[in-house]
Amino acid sequence: MPPEPEVPMPPEPEVPMPPETPRLGYVGLGLMGGPMARRLLAAGYPLAVWNRDPTKLAPLVAAGAAAAGSAAEVARASDIVFTCLTDTAAVEAVVFGADGIAAGARAGSVLVDFSSMRPDSAAAFAARLRAEAGMGWIDAPVSGGVPGATNGTLAVMAGGEPAEFDRVAPVVAHLAGRFTLMGPNGAGQTTKLINQLIVGCGIAVMAEACQLAEDAGIDPARIPQALAGGRADSPILQQFLPRMAARDDQVQSRIAIMVKDLATVMDEARRLGSALPLTGLATELHRLMARRGLADADNAEYVRLFDAG
């Protein structure tokens, strides 16, 4: 019998190569930045780190990060650089100052800034960094405090170019439960101001609820359980009222930061012509707590406004 003709085998399906693992950098290793950097290391990313206070580098280096000598050195070693800094002045100094990120940035890399600042400053900084260094900028302020940074459940509000957002999103997924592009540069910061408006006013309301419960002889720590699932329920209720009832002084977020953010909200409201009477009152009450020596205390200690003595 003649041999059967060979049947050509179908070609092997083409398996796409995995994308190259980006090299990451992190600048600003404080209450929020430290845990976030740890999560990036745990996810297996190569990570270069630098901090203005060098004593905060040691735990990250022990976990596998490479210590850099400057913010510029971090930028030279990274495809994506993350920053988490105190305020607008700190961001400007670290990005554009001597040996700053702009000095070491490579064209095509992206800066993701988790700091909170004025929206117009974020937009101006983004344009400047792109013009001077060819580096993209995503303003990406966060909400969720230290627990969210530690557990990777932060809400991150972003402003920037869609292509750059898509590029960094797989990495930010290790840090955030939600990462939302709100518009061009500055839009993330505006959304964070709205977040802080809601949180700052909410903290003030939780303190009043705690005080009323205590005056009425009701255990305020039981209020969140009683109201769970109702219209008054919220993460602010569930997280802050029990801590206020216990007079918990563990620092997870600072009154000084809330004062700074609420003051920025009011500045932006004046610029836009928005009337925010409740937020204005919450701003002044937070400022009062800071003047009483609680600037570095946790936001939950706002309840001490109502304590006697």
Whether 123 maps to a domain, the answer reads yes
Range of the domain at 167: 24-183
**Residue 145, pLDDT score:** 87
Regarding whether 223 and 197 lie in a shared domain, the answer is yes
Regarding whether 266 and 134 lie in a shared domain, the answer is no
> Residue 92's domain is classified under what CATH number?
3.40.50.720
Domain end residue (candidates: 183, 206, 224): 183
**Residue 193, pLDDT score:** 96
Q: What is the domain count for the chain? A: 2
pLDDT tens-place string over residues 219-235: 999 999 999 999 999 99
**Residue 19, pLDDT score:** 54
Regarding whether 197 and 169 lie in a shared domain, the answer is no
Confidence of residue 295 (pLDDT cuts 50, 70, 90): very high
pLDDT tens-place string over residues 108-164: 999 999 999 999 999 999 999 999 999 999 999 999 888 999 999 999 999 999 999
**Residue 309, pLDDT score:** 54
Mean pLDDT, to the nearest integer, of 204-222? 97
User: Is the model's pTM score more than 0.75?
Assistant: yes
Regarding whether 167 and 51 lie in a shared domain, the answer is yes
> Residue 198's domain is classified under what CATH number?
1.10.1040.10
Regarding whether 147 and 211 lie in a shared domain, the answer is no
Regarding whether 241 and 131 lie in a shared domain, the answer is no
pLDDT tens-place string over residues 80-98: 999 999 889 999 999 999 9
Regarding whether 161 and 104 lie in a shared domain, the answer is yes
- pLDDT exceeds cutoff 90 at 291: yes
Contact, 210 vs 227, CB < 8 A? Answer: no
Q: Which of 54, 113, 112 lies closest to 85 in space, CA to CA? A: 113
The three-state secondary structure class of 59 is helix
Whether 7 maps to a domain, the answer reads no
Q: CA 234, CA 240: separation in Å to the nearest integer?
A: 10
pLDDT tens-place string over residues 254-271: 999 899 989 999 999 999
- Catalytic, out of 192, 254, 260, 286: 192
Q: CA 129, CA 113: separation in Å to the nearest integer?
A: 12
Whether 3 maps to a domain, the answer reads no
**Residue 18, pLDDT score:** 40
Regarding whether 163 and 123 lie in a shared domain, the answer is yes
Domain end residue (candidates: 183, 218, 246): 183
Contact, 298 vs 253, CB < 8 A? Answer: yes
Of the given ranges (1-15, 111-125, 246-260), which has the lowest mean pLDDT?
A: 1-15
Residue 181: C-alpha distances to residues 162, 205, 207, 230 (Å): 8, 30, 33, 30
Confidence of residue 308 (pLDDT cuts 50, 70, 90): confident
> If you average pLDDT over every residue of the chain, what do you get?
92
Whether 9 maps to a domain, the answer reads no
* Token pair recorded at residue 252: 């997870």
Domain end residue (candidates: 148, 167, 183): 183
- pLDDT exceeds cutoff 50 at 203: yes
Whether 235 maps to a domain, the answer reads yes
Regarding whether 140 and 80 lie in a shared domain, the answer is yes
Known catalytic residue: 192? yes
